[in-house]
């Protein structure tokens, strides 16, 4: 059910399979009559479920006291009428007021509990969000920027535009874009508070203003519809277990006629000479390892399909290869060493791989480093760039 009389749409839905009533959008009615249909859905849900009813308000952007009171009264009344029933209200750590307001309800009725949905719900990504990984992330951005700075204009980046960098990580890409292209405004969003704190420190240290760093869940952003000329999301669809959901959000915040720009890898195509076979074996295993944790690091060439399925037109796809010849080969080697630490040292261990497997797995990274530093060697890391236009 969606609102019609209110200025900004909201949606109330009940999913019987998951016993979840969800409320999203902006709910600011003048009177409860305006949300009567949504209240009915909640009451029907309460009548239908057994054991527990999940009330999902993660995507509830605003709710006034008029609406809050009436929804809460229905739940409190149900607690008193149905002592067999528990209510779990799921809020978002991004929308601070919801957690504060709904958390009070537990003090009124112990049957009501509140769970805060935050980055811990992305367990796979925690591997690459360790703060010790920050220097490597900076090196990676330095290596890819050599290519992307000339690629970006072909995908619509130009001075004066309004831009969002979603899954901005430590914010270094946003800084480089601001220096090179001078957009009018950059909003940079990530769900790692540690990365954002680092980004803000760097920006402050360099006297950089004009980048608005914000904490948020990329699949459920507070950012409004149709407001950015250019939305970048780099190396993130591939580590997100629901890339379609993320793309839908990127589409939503992009203005009609604007472009969404994504970069992704195909890890099995990492290469090197000499010792190419060992290298290839390891990176094939990297792809399988990420797949185990619901991440698709083979996504790069699939970007065109993902963008088309999300509704974009005028899709542009290209690829580039970061190599040991681009700059200091030591940088390339440092990145591979960091990958080895995380992929072989943490992820493979967590998957429960045998010591023999891990030893062979590590060898491929070592051989990639050998190739990168060899005076006659060649080492490559391919990246796919894709962008699509949101139709007018």
> Which residue in this structure is represented by tokens 């957690």?
99
Among 1, 8, 37, 308, binds other proteins (CB under 8 A): 8
What are 312's two structure tokens? 């974009």
Rule CB under 8 A: choose which of 35, 42, 55, 72 binds other proteins: 72
* Closer by beta carbon to other proteins, 104 or else 351: 104
Question: Could you tell me which stretch among 38-46, 206-214, 247-255, 355-363 binds other proteins (CB under 8 A)?
Answer: 206-214
d(CA 331, CA 163): 29
Tell me the two tokens of residue 182: 């001078």
Give the Cα separation of 390 and 374 in Å (integer): 45
The one segment of 65-73, 170-178, 232-240, 278-286 that binds other proteins by CB under 8 A: 65-73
- The answer to whether 189 contacts other proteins (rule: CB under 8 A) is yes
Stretch of 2-10, 126-134, 146-154, 174-182 lying at the interface with other proteins (CB under 8 A): 2-10
CA dihedral 29, 34, 37, 39 (to 10 degrees): 40
Half-sphere exposure at residue 130, Cβ-oriented, CA atoms within 13 angstroms: 13
d(CA 198, CA 141): 15
CA pair distance 116, 135, nearest whole angstrom:
30
Interface residue with other proteins, options 216, 258, 377, 380 (CB under 8 A): 216
Span from 56-64, 249-257, 310-318, 330-338 in contact with other proteins (CB under 8 A): 56-64
Question: For the CA atoms of 97, 103, 104, 109, what is the dihedral angle to 10 degrees?
Answer: 150
As measured in angstroms, the least distance from the Cβ of 99 to other proteins is 10
Q: CB–CB of 260/390 below 8 Å?
A: yes
Q: Which of 84, 107, 159, 356 binds other proteins (CB under 8 A)?
A: 107
Query: How many whole angstroms from its chain centre is CA 31?
Result: 37
104 interacts with other proteins by CB under 8 A:
yes
200 binds other proteins (CB under 8 A): yes
Rg of the chain in Å (alpha carbons): 24
* β-bridge pairing 52-56 and 86-92: parallel
66 versus 113: smaller Cβ distance to other proteins: 66
Phi, psi of 343 (to 5 degrees): -70, -50
The nearer residue to other proteins, 19 or 62, going by C-beta atoms, is 62
264 to 107, 274, 381: CA distances (angstroms) = 47, 26, 11
Buried b / exposed e over 252-273, threshold 16 CB at 10 Å, is ebbbeebbbbbbbbbbbbbbbe
Window 220-259: contact mask with other proteins (x via CB under 8 A): --xx------------------------------------
- Site stretch for other proteins (CB under 8 A), options 58-66, 171-179, 257-265, 348-356: 58-66
Using alpha carbons only, what angle is made at residue 38 by residues 111 and 18, rounded to the nearest 5 degrees? 55
CB of 104 to other proteins, least distance (A): 6
Q: Is 58 or 368 the residue whose CB approaches other proteins more closely?
A: 58
Number of residues in contact with other proteins, rule: CB under 8 A?
Answer: 40
Angle at 192 between CA 88 and CA 21, to 5 degrees: 20
Query: Does 97 engage in binding with other proteins (CB under 8 A)?
Result: yes
Contact window for other proteins (CB under 8 A) among 89-97, 166-174, 244-252, 267-275: 89-97
Of 12-20, 96-104, 133-141, 233-241, the segment contacting other proteins by CB under 8 A is 96-104
35 lies in the binding site for other proteins (CB under 8 A): no
Closer to other proteins by CB, 213 or 306: give it: 213
On whether the CB atoms of residues 89 and 113 are closer than 8 A, the answer is yes
Residue 66 binding other proteins, by CB under 8 A: yes
Q: How far is the CB of 190 from other proteins (least distance, A)?
A: 11
Give the interface with other proteins as residue ranges (CB under 8 A). Answer: 6-8, 26, 28, 30, 32, 61-62, 64-66, 68-70, 72-73, 76, 94-97, 100-101, 104-105, 107-109, 187, 189, 196, 200, 212-216, 222-223
């Amino acid at each position: 059910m969606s609102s019609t009389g209110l200025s900004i749409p909201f949606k109330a839905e009940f999913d019987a399979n998951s016993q979840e009533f969800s409320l999203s959008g902006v709910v600011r009615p003048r009177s409860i009559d305006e949300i009567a249909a949504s209240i009915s859905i909640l009451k029907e849900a309460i009548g239908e479920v057994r054991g527990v009813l999940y009330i999902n308000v993660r995507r509830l952007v605003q709710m006034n006291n008029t609406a809050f009171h009436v929804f809460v009264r229905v739940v409190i009344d149900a607690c008193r009428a149905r002592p067999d029933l528990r209510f779990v209200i799921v809020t978002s750590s991004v929308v601070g007021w919801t957690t504060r307001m709904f958390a009070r309800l537990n003090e009124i009725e112990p049957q009501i509990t509140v769970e805060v949905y935050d980055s811990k719900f992305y367990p796979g990504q925690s591997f690459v969000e360790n703060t010790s990984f920050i220097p490597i992330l900076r090196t990676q951005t330095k290596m890819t920027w050599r290519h992307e700075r000339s690629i970006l204009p072909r995908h619509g980046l130009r001075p004066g535009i309004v831009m969002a960098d979603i899954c901005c990580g430590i914010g270094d890409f946003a800084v480089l874009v601001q220096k090179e292209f001078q957009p009018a405004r950059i909003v940079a969003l990530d769900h790692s508070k540690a990365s954002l704190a680092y980004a803000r420190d760097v920006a402050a240290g360099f006297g950089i203003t004009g980048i608005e760093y914000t904490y948020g869940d990329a699949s459920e952003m507070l950012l409004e519809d149709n407001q950015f000329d250019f939305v970048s999301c780099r190396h993130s669809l591939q580590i997100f277990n629901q890339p379609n959901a993320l793309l839908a959000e990127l589409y939503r915040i992009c203005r009609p006629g604007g472009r969404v720009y994504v970069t992704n890898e195909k890890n099995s195509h990492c290469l090197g000479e000499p010792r190419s076979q060992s290298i290839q074996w390891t990176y094939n295993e990297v792809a399988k390892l990420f797949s185990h944790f619901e991440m698709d690091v083979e996504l790069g060439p699939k970007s065109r399909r993902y963008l088309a399925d999300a509704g974009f037109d005028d899709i542009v796809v290209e690829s580039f290869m970061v190599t040991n010849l681009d700059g200091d080969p030591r940088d390339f080697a440092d990145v591979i060493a960091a990958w080895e630490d995380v992929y072989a040292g943490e992820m493979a261990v967590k998957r429960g791989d045998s010591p023999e497997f891990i030893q062979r797995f590590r060898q491929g990274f070592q051989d990639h480093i050998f190739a990168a530093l060899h005076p006659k060697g060649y080492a490559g890391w391919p990246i796919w760039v894709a962008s699509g236009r949101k139709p007018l």
